[in-house]
Every structure is written in structure tokens, then in C-alpha cells.
Structure 1
């Protein structure tokens, strides 16, 4: 597909979102722009607590049930913005549609807390979730790490750090290589909401050695121990090729990996009122529900 291959509805949304979105460099303005969307569906139990010192929000669609999957959800936002409130609707939808308990993690943000603060928080939440799984009516052997954008990077890193603790990883348009050298960066780095300039600035704020696999998971030498994986990608996204490459490497390493590439949409489509967004949310929830 070409640079101008957004669907008409996606192009309208993309242009509207871009018009009001700050450029890279102003942390306060970016955080102010990251406001929650409309409320999500009712979930039987929603509570805030701490997981290893990290703020989390626990969504339980059916208190009293047993043996369900549990997903640790890591929000996007370039490691710089967003949080529990901005992703509340998405987590509610995933919990309601999948029947799984969702633990949304409010990890520390850059630039105040650069790498490895966020991945350390993500790992701490995973450890807490495993320990609490039975009391939450979940199977400790059915714990998944999930996330969108920078949160998907954190999910991938967490799976690399503790593959024996996760039954799956759900990665939605993840940034996986700080070098940003793929063709999709050139093709979709402007005019598609999430720009190459933003992404480069986010990487700079996040810090860490770009060659380290816990920064750039695509550079990990061995992926063979990773769990069942679903990678969700937008075709008109500068991060597309990184996700495709990671999917190929996982398959070559013998990992059960599915890549779902949605045409005509841009980075961030998972939470948008687009048919592809609804399809991706439904598909992700079904994949989560089927965690073995």
C-alpha cells in the first residue's frame, strides 16, 4: 500500500487528530493532549491498588469465577504520556469481551524516570499478577502480557525477561528497534498522525542503549523461549515493518505467532471508532480468552 492508502474515514480521523496534537518536545503539552475518551462498558468490579509499588487498575468482569486468563496491560504513549485513565475504556472493553481479568499498569514515565524504570515496573506488576492470580479467580499459568505502542514494547521486553512466567504476549503496533531504519518509517513517518519525529523524540526521552534487547526487542539474539504471540499492526504506520519483522523472527524461532495486519488505518486505530478498530478489539479479546 502507498502513503495515501488510508480509508476515507481513517483519513478524516487522522487529520482531525493531527491538527490538535502537539509536536515533539513539550512534555506538558503532550500529556495535556492525552485525555480519556468516552466511557467504556460497565465491568462488574473495577478497583485501584498497588502491585509491587506500582499503581494498577484491576478489571474483573465476573468476580467469583475461576481459572480465567489474566492480562497485564501496559499502556502506550511513547513512555512519556498516558496512564490508567486514558486506557480505561480499552481495558474495560477487553475485560468485558474476553472474560479475563485485566490488570492495567501505571508504570513510571520518562523523561523523569528513564529506562529501565518502566520495564522494571512492568516486571514487578507481572510478578504481582502471578502471585495474585488465584485470588483473582485466574489461572497463574494463563497470565498474558499485553500493550499498545510503547506499552507493547514493554510487554515484549517483559516476555523476554521472564518467558517462563507468561502464557502469551499481545503486541499492538509495537516499537521494537530504536534505530528506526525500516522502509515503513520513510513511507509513513509524516501525515499519518504518529510521526517519525515524535518516535525519535520518544526514544530519546526513554533512554537506554538502543542495541540492548530490553530496549529494542527486535535485536534479541534468541526468541525461541517466547510464548504464544499475537501482533496487531496498522498498514499505514511507521512501526509496521518492525512488527512484521518480529513476527517473522518469532515464527522462524518456532514460536506460535500470528500477525494481523489491518489495511487502511494508522497508528492508534485500536481505540478509534473505525471498523478495523472494532475488529481488532474483538479479535484481541477472543485471542486472550483462548489463552491455553
Structure 2
């Protein structure tokens, strides 16, 4: 199984070795990778915009996707945050994922191109994402969306942000999403779980990569204990929206996603937690190549549709 996993990850993702310790160089390696041969998934409409950022901060680029099968009724909305360890990836890297999500859920997807570390450390990414959530809730109707049906979603570091947004909205009296989709979320800089030890190397994203990502995001400060950096550090998870959380067997982040699901349940939050065996961090973006990825996408999209229905 390990050999198959490594072959697939190296074929479909850029290889960032542990010797890469510069964010700009990591992004250059990503940009140099050949573009996937597949044509873009057709949607009804795509639009790039720049939205007001947090006070005193730059505007936040976003990309909006309208689904193909729209009947003119107000659309549900998903605010999506991409992964990449808070350091790499962008609107382009997750374009296909957002297109598929829009069509499969019938929702308007708002993809957030938040500021990245280390140029902009915590809480820049979280504040950018929250500014987009607030703007989306205020302007959803202008976009053909329904402000009463807004969900948040994200993978990896984006899963962190998707988990943080409901906390920020609850604490600040902002627009609390009706649902959260967390795809193998990156939630805890402590990195001391069994899955970190068991899956430290050999499955594309390593413990060294993740340690470096956290260092870029948090720097030398003690921000790792802040709930908006590490949702697992939040003392109170009550009042948060229902969640669908998925994890991968061969992922250092597996245990923290499952622990967060358990903590949400203990706080009275409905949670659907699903572990996909035999796969690795990043598999969700490989629908059509891996059966587990197709199953995970179907389940996640189904959960979003159910949560966002009229």
C-alpha cells in the first residue's frame, strides 16, 4: 500500500523535499510544475474580485463560482479556504476542487486567497477569511445567494480556517455559518499525536513539512495556544454549527481532526466524522484517480447539500 501511495502522490503533486526551507522557493517549485492536462470543469460563471480586507489590511482576492444547475432561486453559499500550510497554494491550485463543489452542491462558492506566511503571519489568514465571510453574508443577495444559508469549507490549513471562522463569528457576534466542512484539517501545532509519529514520513506530506508550515505561520510567538490558530485550544466549542470532518489513515493530521470531532460532539455539536483508510493527506483532490477520493467528495458534497437545502 505504501508504494502505491507514494507513486500516486509524486505523479499528481509537486515534491517539496525537507531541504526546502524558503517559502518563495517552495512557491516557485509549485509554479514550475506542469499544468494538469484536464480541461476546467465547466460552471455557469466564474468571477475574480477583490474584497475589503480587515481594518488597515490589503484587499482580499477571491474567486466566485456559480453552479451550472441554477434555477434562478437564491443559491446557498460556501466560503472556501484552500490548503497549503498557510504558505503555498492559491486560487489556481484549488480551482478544480471549487468548480466541482459548486456543481455538486448547487452552491455559489467563494474561494478566499488569504495572505500567506511568513510574509503575513497569524492572524492574517484568519482575519482575511473572516472579512470575506462577513462581506459575503452582507452581499450574498447581490450575488444571487441566500445570506441565511452560508457554509464554510476548507482542506488542511484551509480546514483550520474553516474551523476558526465559526469560532470568530460566535465570539464576535458575526454571521455564524450553518455548517462546516473540514477536510483533514490542520488544527494543532503541538504535533504530538500517534498519527504524527506513525505517518511522519513516506506519505507525501511529512511531519517535517508540517512543522515548517507551523513555524512560518506562527513564528517564534506563543500564538499556537490561541483558539484562532489552534481550534483544539478553544476552551468552549458550544454554539458552533454542525460539521462534516474527514481524515485519512496515512496522514500525520489524522488524530487531531478526529479529536476535534470528539470535542465538538462533547459540546453538543452534531458531527459526521469519516476516516478513509489506505489514503494520504491530499487525497481529496484526486477524485477520478482514487476510489476513496470519489467517495469522500460524494459524501462531503452530500453533507453540504443537506445542510444548505431550503
Shift in alpha-carbon separation, 1:44–1:16, aligned structure 2, 3 A: closer
Equivalent position to 2:15, from 20, 35, 41 = 20
Number of residues of Structure 1 aligned to a counterpart in Structure 2: 287
Equivalent position to 2:271, from 231, 254, 257 = 257
- CA–CA distance in structure 2, aligned partners of residues 264 and 228 of structure 1: 27
CA RMSD of aligned residues (A): 1.8
- CA–CA distance in structure 2, aligned partners of residues 288 and 102 of structure 1: 12
- CA–CA distance in structure 2, aligned partners of residues 264 and 169 of structure 1: 25
* Range with bigger deviation, 36-45 or 221-230: 36-45
- CA–CA distance in structure 2, aligned partners of residues 17 and 47 of structure 1: 27
- CA–CA distance in structure 2, aligned partners of residues 196 and 218 of structure 1: 18
2:47 aligns with 47
Shift in alpha-carbon separation, 1:19–1:88, aligned structure 2, 3 A: closer
Shift in alpha-carbon separation, 1:288–1:33, aligned structure 2, 3 A: farther
* Range with bigger deviation, 62-71 or 148-157: 62-71
2:160 aligns with 153
- CA–CA distance in structure 2, aligned partners of residues 34 and 65 of structure 1: 39
* Range with bigger deviation, 18-27 or 274-283: 18-27
Question: Does 1:226 find its partner at 2:221?
Answer: no
Deviation at 1:20, TM superposition (A): 3.2
1:267 aligns with 281
Deviation at 1:18, TM superposition (A): 7.7
Deviation at 1:187, TM superposition (A): 0.3
CA deviation vs aligned residue, 1:253-283 (integer Å, no higher than 9, x gap)? 1101111110000000011221111111122
Deviation at 1:9, TM superposition (A): 4.1
- CA–CA distance in structure 2, aligned partners of residues 115 and 58 of structure 1: 25
1:70 aligns with 77
Residue 224 of structure 2 aligns to a residue whose secondary structure is: coil
Using structure 1 for the length normalisation, give the TM-score.
Answer: 0.93
Deviation at 1:10, TM superposition (A): 2.9
Residue 81 of structure 1 aligns to a residue whose secondary structure is: coil
Residue 150 of structure 2 aligns to a residue whose secondary structure is: strand
Question: Does 1:92 find its partner at 2:99?
Answer: yes
Counterparts of 1:1-292 in structure 2, within 5 Å, are: 5-6=1-2, 9-16=4-11, 20-23=15-18, 24-35=20-31, 37=36, 38-52=38-52, 53-62=59-68, 65-163=72-170, 164-207=175-218, 209-272=223-286, 273-292=289-308
* Range with bigger deviation, 84-93 or 17-26: 17-26
Shift in alpha-carbon separation, 1:31–1:67, aligned structure 2, 3 A: same
- CA–CA distance in structure 2, aligned partners of residues 175 and 42 of structure 1: 30
* Range with bigger deviation, 275-284 or 28-37: 28-37
Consecutive unaligned residues in structure 1, runs of 5 or more? none
- CA–CA distance in structure 2, aligned partners of residues 15 and 47 of structure 1: 32
* Range with bigger deviation, 112-121 or 280-289: 280-289
Deviation at 1:120, TM superposition (A): 0.5
